Amino acid sequence: MNAQSDLTILGGGLAGLSLALQCRQQLPQASITVLEKRQHPVPEAAFKVGESTVEVAAHYFGKVLGFRQHILDDQLPKLGLRFFFPSGDNSRIEDRLELGGKRYAPCPSYQLDRGRFENFLADTCLERGITFRDQATVQEIDIRKRGTHRVQFEADGERQTVNSRWVVDASGRRAFLKRQLNMQMPSSHIANAAWFRFSRHIKIDEWSQDGDWQQGHADKTARWYSTNHLMGKGYWVWMIPLASGSTSMGIVAAEEFHSLSDFNSMEKAVRWLEKHEPQCAEQVKANLDNVQDFRAIKHYATECRQVFSRHRWGITGEAGFFHDPFYSPGSDFIAFSNTFLTDLIRRDLTGRGFRIRAFSYDRIFKRFYYGTKTAYQDQYRMFGNPTVMPVKILWDYMVYWSITGFIFMQDRMCQQTMYLRNLSRLSQLGKVNHFMQAFFRQWHAATDGVPVQGNVDISQIPLVRESNQRLLDDMNDRTYHQRFAANLQQLETLGCEIVEQSGLNVSVPFGRTTSSMVRANSFESVFASVTGRDRQAQMAPAG
């Protein structure tokens, strides 16, 4: 059997299915084929990790693709990211410095049961006339510089061929095209992970009966609706609730601090948790009969020389790049790459120029990736530092909302004139962020081991909430460029303020000192906590 297709996508997971549906929106008449190795429908819960979404991915799945109603009806809302930093032997959750909100952010985010969501996406593909072949094993890919590409696969017990104008690899870590075209690149970020699911909700709210600690977290604002992070030196543990009734849990650690061999089985993971996170270990041991799966991955960070080509091929999702699950960026980068690919494919199939843009988009995507990577590279050493990490986390939020999140959610991702107009600002934002990430390492070295307690309610920090809210603003071009300039000034001001409040004698190579300009006045409650000026107080400023 030989078939013809305008677009053939290798892999029918989150990246491939969402790309197919985004292309269908833009190209109603195009022939689109998705080849997926797994049998559908896939199981819920114990299927894939990557369940936590943040603002960009939530916007992409909910608004860009139009699946907000499914998410509201069949998935779980997320009460943001929540972090607990070490205190003593970590046997009392109420003694740990907590960073998180008591109400939902203006810009929504969600917890996605990947099995349930991918089944929904596959069904939607079929409803919209997309050829979706499950149990299809790709055998051979012939990428040609001219003419159509050829993909050979096995399905229904026979070898079949599809000739396609475009081929996009969304095969995850099988990475067909990256391997075939010798595009592999080692990552300098060396970390490992193990994860497992339980067939019931494990609620962190039940770990303490302290009335003051429980206050403000009832019903839908309970802490277990958050993506919860248990933080320690060189590691973090996630807990994510799923709408199917399961809980996803994982251990992520930089190799220089914790070897994967210490937690790469369920038995070893329990012993590791007993040592580092005893309250979590007790929950795991009490639910061993409810374990649904266990998986581990060594050196999960992956990179790629090229992801978009003028020869009509592309790579999306983990088949190309993946840096780290901290801050839940995986689906964000699916949104970025799929949006670039959709624009390239649409331009080609409608007779518009795409070749130069393929080169340009490839460079832009990689700059986004490497800019974001600075938040993780050599930073795991400070993950257990309750002085530095709350400020770093909020800084990283502000960078995200000022650059990649801002560009994508304002629908400017594919506007080349926007990048040209803001080239100097983007360059300066990158320099500011690189300086601050290095500064956080220096601050960590000066404060490592200093204990801090309290509760930082980020939903009550005006600048944090306002910056998140502004992602939803409807802006014309003039307002957009004014806001971009304001974002840069705000980050420079905030960077100066952080350095000044740290008490370290460090020269800031950008902006002016905070004494000569309007202070960002954003993290006062956090500074009060981590510098010890108000260490025992509940840090939640009014208004």
Half-sphere CA count of 89, side-chain side, radius 13 A? 6
| DSSP 8-state class, residue 42 | P
For domain 1-47+112-187+301-380, which CATH number applies: 3.30.2350.10, 3.90.1150.10, 3.50.50.60, 3.10.20.30? Answer: 3.50.50.60
Beta bridge partners of 239: 228, 249
- What count of other Cβ atoms lies within 10 Å of the Cβ of residue 540? 17
CA 505 to chain centre: 34
Please determine, for residue 428, whether its predicted confidence score (pLDDT) is greater than 70: yes
Cβ-count burial 108-121 (b if 16+ within 10 Å, e if not): bbbbbbbbbbbbbb
Q: CATH assignment of 76-109+191-298? A: 3.30.9
Which one, of 323, 362, 367, 319, lies nearest residue 341 by Cα?
A: 362
pLDDT at position 521 is 53
pLDDT at position 210 is 96
Whole-model pTM? 0.95
pLDDT digits (tens, 9 = 90+) for 300-335: 999 999 999 999 999 999 999 999 999 999 999 999
Half-sphere CA count of 206, side-chain side, radius 13 A? 6
pLDDT digits (tens, 9 = 90+) for 175-205: 999 999 999 999 999 999 999 999 999 999 9
Q: What percent of the chain has pLDDT over 70?
A: 94
Domain ranges in the chain with CATH number 3.30.9 = 76-109+191-298
Q: What is the mean pLDDT of residues 428-452?
A: 95
Which one, of 18, 20, 32, lies nearest residue 61 by Cα?
A: 18
Beta bridge partners of 159: 154
CB 413 within 8 A of CB 340: yes
- What count of other Cβ atoms lies within 10 Å of the Cβ of residue 223? 23
Domain ranges in the chain with CATH number 3.50.50.60 = 1-47+112-187+301-380
pLDDT digits (tens, 9 = 90+) for 217-271: 999 999 999 999 999 999 999 999 999 999 999 999 999 999 999 999 999 999 9
pLDDT at position 515 is 41
Judged by DSSP in three states, 125 sits in helix
Q: What is the mean pLDDT of residues 96-120?
A: 97
> CA triplet 121, 127, 131: central angle to 5 degrees?
80
